[in-house]
């Protein structure tokens, strides 16, 4: 019965090793995730991870090469936009007085705003001044033109590209054969230092600028899977989410309150920061900002200028991306790690701790790479880690639940709950290839039989006999289980029980404990039979007596049978002796339950039981004599020890 259960456990599982299960599960989940990635379903998760890592990077502080002239709400109240050309000209003249390297005017001047248009035209002729145009949209294909007569090299578009969630993460460098506003400003600054950009390939996918090689952002670069790659784009590497450069107001400039060294040799950007002027966009930092989640457009352009300058000067590298194959291996690796942990670690606390630690390694690795300007997928390997681990855990849990239910249903009926639990814990060690390997061990065997059962069976209808017999066997089984034994088989009106299997006993104390348990179980069965007899007598059912034979010795326990039928077998001379002890001298019953043991069991019960020496006996089928004893009762510490083996004369 035990082996039948263990074999069912083994054959219930697919014929796969843990490695194969993890590999198949991981490959399946990886394929599903890659399909989802191909469809762009995971892009938003990767972009959120990108934002988190952007927020976690250290803040280097404001860029000292830049100055922002902000048109604030106070300026709006004071000067009532749209600003006149005269006011803008005065501001530009004041800034030019301190010799900035470049000035970027992030204000549309596509038509005159008198008074002062002539003064503004004069200021626009300064070669270090960059103005803006707008590329246009579907609603306005023509866009907004630059001021009339401005040279192409002094005009840049101020369009920014947003991702589907409205966040600006990309830097549009070129579009429609026009340079961006920020590119033109950075070009003026770096050209003054003899650092000019140059294409490295005919397809214009790589641009050398100073110490950096800018690589065009493709549709599937990094975490993007459905990127709008119109124009020539790179990732916008924000310097900071707070203050990208020193900021002064329009009023401060017009009133001459700005220190000259804040302007001299700098890149000055002029633009609106007032919320009422609605030149605000979402950034990777917006999710962490509750009060002012949006960043003014002029600061976005300042972020871009700072990025260009840092890359060209070598203090910041451009973002790089792994190949598609490398990303797939990265994702698959973490998927297999998640499945491997779930398969190997059975303790839930250890699994949770280990999984948390590995996810920390994943997050730390991804962030370290991100800090080095390498953007690798984060959401996909994390999701794959969880999914594979979850599927493997669910598989193991389902198997474990079914197997444990089988333990308690099948084995638990024939062994004590403690033994059932021990067998369940050791199932992988005990069962190999669907079989329980034969092993030699020392066990104590117990056989029982009902006296004169044949006569009783002739006097009862079969259905009543079966009910009565089941009641008896159920009670005897309970006593065996209570004393840590296993019922190996039922033999009609009797049973065979074993104490000391299937886990081998390695010490004399363990062997003695099994022997003591078997003898105690034999006496307990006698007490239980007396209770049954009293109940049966009241119900007009047969009142019976029983015999028990107990022997301790070497046996071989393991699989018996073949593929079609297999059971847990216990064989050896010790089994035969125990069986013969039960049937020895049947006429000498002496009480409701006769328990006979041999000297091999007596030496292990350590004077805990009162015994009666029957002497050397010839057992059926045995050539050698066996020293037989009858167990009378348990001994309390105060009870005298009667009939010691050495004192009892042989009959």
Q: Is residue 640 part of a domain?
A: no
Say whether pLDDT at 607 is over 90: no
pLDDT at position 435 = 56
Mark which of 265, 289, 313 sits at the end of a domain.
313
Say whether pLDDT at 227 is over 80: yes
pLDDT at position 404 = 61
Of 394-403, 484-493, 602-611, least confident by mean pLDDT is 394-403
Going by their DSSP bridges, the two strands 66-71 and 246-249 should be labelled as parallel
Q: Residue 449: give its domain's CATH number.
A: 3.30.70.1230
Say whether pLDDT at 647 is over 70: no
Q: Is residue 512 part of a domain?
A: yes
542-568 average pLDDT score: 83
Residues 60 and 13 in one domain: no
Asked whether the beta carbons of 444 and 514 are under 8 A apart, the reply is: yes
Residues 214 and 149 in one domain: yes
Alpha-helical (H) ranges within 460-619 are: 462-482, 508-538, 573-583, 599-605
Q: Is residue 639 part of a domain?
A: no
pLDDT at position 149 = 84
For 268, the 3-state DSSP assignment is: strand
Residues 86 and 232 in one domain: yes
Predicted confidence (pLDDT) per residue in 329-370, tens digit: 999 999 999 999 998 888 889 999 999 999 999 999 999 999
pLDDT at position 617 = 87
> What phi and psi, each to the nearest 5 degrees, are found at residue 144?
-115, 120
pLDDT at position 128 = 96
Task: Kindly indicate the confidence band of residue 15, based on its pLDDT and cuts at 50, 70 and 90.
Answer: very low
pLDDT at position 606 = 77
Asked whether the beta carbons of 133 and 178 are under 8 A apart, the reply is: yes
Q: Is residue 426 part of a domain?
A: no
For 127, the 3-state DSSP assignment is: coil
209-213 average pLDDT score: 95
Q: Which two tokens stand for residue 28?
A: 């399946």
580-590 average pLDDT score: 87
Q: Which two tokens stand for residue 577?
A: 């002796």
Look at the block and give the residue holding tokens 């972020």.
303
26-34 average pLDDT score: 92
Task: Kindly indicate the confidence band of residue 282, based on its pLDDT and cuts at 50, 70 and 90.
Answer: very high
Say whether pLDDT at 558 is over 50: yes
Residues 451 and 357 in one domain: no
Residue 457 parent element (H or E): helix 453-459
Q: Is residue 337 part of a domain?
A: yes
φ/ψ region of 295 (left if φ > 0, alpha if ψ in -120 to 50, else beta) reads beta
Residues 52 and 145 in one domain: yes
pLDDT at position 563 = 60
Of 218-222, 332-336, 412-416, least confident by mean pLDDT is 412-416
Of 103-107, 148-152, 154-158, 256-260, least confident by mean pLDDT is 148-152
Residue 361 lies in domain: 2-39+323-407
614/621 Cα distance (integer angstroms): 19
pLDDT at position 448 = 96
pLDDT at position 4 = 47
Residues 596 and 487 in one domain: yes
Task: Kindly indicate the confidence band of residue 564, based on its pLDDT and cuts at 50, 70 and 90.
Answer: low
The partner residues of 156 in beta bridges, in order of sequence, read: 132
Say whether pLDDT at 420 is over 60: no
**Alpha carbon distances (Å) from 74 to 258, 270, 276, 390:** 17, 16, 11, 57
Q: What is the DSSP string of 166-222?
A: SB--EEEEEETTEEBHHHHHHHHHHHTTT--EEESSTT--EEEETTEEEE---TTST
Q: Is residue 464 part of a domain?
A: yes
Q: Is residue 420 part of a domain?
A: no
229/219 Cα distance (integer angstroms): 6
Say whether pLDDT at 13 is over 50: no
Say whether pLDDT at 296 is over 50: yes
How many structural domains compose the chain? Answer: 3
Q: What is the DSSP string of 596-609?
A: EEEHHHHHHHTT-E
Residue 296 parent element (H or E): strand 294-296
Angle at 328 between CA 326 and CA 334, to 5 degrees: 105
Considering only the C-alpha atoms of the chain, give the largest distance between any 2 of them, rounded to a whole number of Å. 142
Task: Kindly indicate the confidence band of residue 399, based on its pLDDT and cuts at 50, 70 and 90.
Answer: confident
Q: What percent of the chain has pLDDT over 70?
A: 88
Report the b/e string of 313-342 with b at 16+ CB within 10 A. Answer: beebebbbbbeeeebbebbbbbbbbbbbbb
423 versus 210: the higher-pLDDT residue is 210
Residues 138 and 179 in one domain: yes
Mark which of 313, 339, 372 sits at the end of a domain.
313
Residues 212 and 239 in one domain: yes
578/597 Cα distance (integer angstroms): 8
123-127 average pLDDT score: 94
Residues 116 and 223 in one domain: yes
Residues 335 and 268 in one domain: no
Task: Kindly indicate the confidence band of residue 12, based on its pLDDT and cuts at 50, 70 and 90.
Answer: very low
pLDDT at position 427 = 60
Confidence (pTM) = 0.67
Q: Is residue 417 part of a domain?
A: no
pLDDT at position 644 = 40
Asked whether the beta carbons of 270 and 72 are under 8 A apart, the reply is: no
Say whether pLDDT at 651 is over 50: no
Task: Kindly indicate the confidence band of residue 20, based on its pLDDT and cuts at 50, 70 and 90.
Answer: confident
Q: What percent of the chain has pLDDT over 90?
A: 68
Give 432's DSSP letter. Answer: B
Task: Give me the chain's average pLDDT, please.
Answer: 88
Residues 6+ apart with CB under 8 A from 405: none
242/303 Cα distance (integer angstroms): 11
Residues 447 and 354 in one domain: no
Asked whether the beta carbons of 312 and 186 are under 8 A apart, the reply is: yes
Residues 58 and 133 in one domain: yes
Give 622's DSSP letter. Answer: -
45/68 Cα distance (integer angstroms): 34
């Amino acid at each position: 019965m035990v082996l039948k259960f263990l074999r069912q456990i083994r054959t219930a599982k697919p014929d796969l090793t843990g490695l194969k299960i993890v590999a198949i599960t991981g490959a399946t989940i990886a394929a599903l995730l890659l399909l989802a990635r191909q469809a762009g379903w995971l892009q938003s998760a990767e972009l959120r991870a990108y934002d988190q890592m952007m927020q976690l990077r250290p803040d280097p502080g404001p860029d000292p090469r830049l100055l922002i002239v902000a048109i604030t709400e106070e300026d709006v109240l004071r000067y009532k936009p749209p600003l006149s050309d005269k006011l803008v000209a005065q501001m530009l003249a004041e800034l030019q007085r301190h010799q900035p390297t470049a000035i970027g005017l992030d204000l549309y001047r596509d038509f005159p705003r008198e008074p002062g248009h002539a003064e503004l035209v004069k200021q626009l002729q300064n070669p270090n001044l960059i103005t803006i145009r707008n590329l246009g949209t579907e609603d306005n294909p023509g866009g907004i033109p630059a001021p009339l007569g401005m040279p192409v090299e002094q005009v840049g578009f101020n369009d920014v590209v947003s991702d589907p969630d409205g966040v600006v993460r990309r830097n549009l460098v070129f579009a429609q054969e026009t340079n961006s506003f920020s590119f033109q400003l950075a070009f003026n600054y770096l050209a003054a230092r003899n650092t000019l950009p140059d294409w490295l390939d005919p397809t214009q996918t790589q641009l050398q600028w100073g110490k950096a090689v800018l690589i065009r952002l493709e549709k599937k670069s990094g975490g993007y899977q459905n990127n709008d790659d119109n124009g020539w784009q790179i990732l916008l590497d924000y310097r900071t989410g707070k203050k990208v450069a020193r900021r002064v107001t329009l009023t401060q400039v017009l009133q001459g309150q700005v220190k000259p060294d804040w302007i001299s040799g700098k890149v000055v950007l002029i633009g609106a920061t007032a919320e009422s002027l609605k030149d605000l966009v979402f950034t990777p930092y917006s999710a962490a900002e509750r009060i002012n989640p949006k960043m003014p457009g002029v600061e976005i352009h300042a972020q871009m200028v700072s990025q260009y300058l840092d890359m060209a000067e070598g203090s910041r590298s451009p973002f790089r991306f792994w190949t598609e194959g490398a990303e797939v291996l990265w994702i698959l690796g973490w998927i297999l790690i998640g499945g491997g942990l779930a398969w190997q670690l059975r303790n839930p606390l250890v699994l949770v701790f280990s999984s948390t630690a590995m996810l920390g390694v994943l997050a730390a690795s991804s962030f370290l790479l991100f800090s080095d300007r390498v953007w690798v997928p984060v959401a996909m390997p994390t999701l794959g880690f969880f999914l594979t681990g979850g599927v493997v855990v669910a598989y193991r849990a389902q198997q474990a639940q079914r197997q444990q239910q089988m333990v308690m249903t099948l084995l638990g009926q024939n062994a004590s709950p403690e033994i059932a639990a021990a067998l369940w814990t050791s199932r992988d060690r005990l069962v190999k290839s669907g079989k329980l390997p034969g092993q030699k061990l020392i066990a104590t065997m117990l056989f029982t039989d009902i006296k004169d059962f044949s006569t009783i069976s002739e006097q009862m209808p079969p259905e009543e006999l079966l009910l009565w017999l089941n009641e008896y066997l159920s009670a005897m089984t309970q006593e065996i289980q209570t004393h840590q034994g296993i019922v190996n088989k039922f033999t009609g009106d009797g049973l065979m029980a074993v104490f000391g299997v299937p886990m081998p006993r390695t010490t004399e104390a363990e062997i003695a404990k099994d022997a003591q348990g078997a003898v105690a179980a034999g006496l307990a069965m006698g007490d239980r039979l007396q209770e049954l007899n009293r109940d049966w007598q009241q119900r007009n059912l047969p009142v019976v007596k029983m015999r028990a034979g107990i022997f301790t010795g070497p046996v071989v326990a393991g699989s018996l049978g073949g593929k079609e039928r297999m059971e847990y077998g216990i064989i050896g001379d010790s089994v035969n002796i125990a069986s013969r002890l039960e049937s020895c001298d049947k006429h000498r019953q002496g009480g409701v339950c006769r328990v006979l043991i041999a000297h091999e069991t007596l030496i292990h019960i350590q004077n805990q039981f009162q015994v009666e020496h029957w002497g050397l006996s010839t057992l059926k089928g045995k050539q050698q004599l066996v020293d037989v004893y009858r167990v009378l009762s348990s001994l309390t510490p105060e009870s005298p020890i009667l009939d010691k083996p050495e004192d009892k004369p042989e009959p």
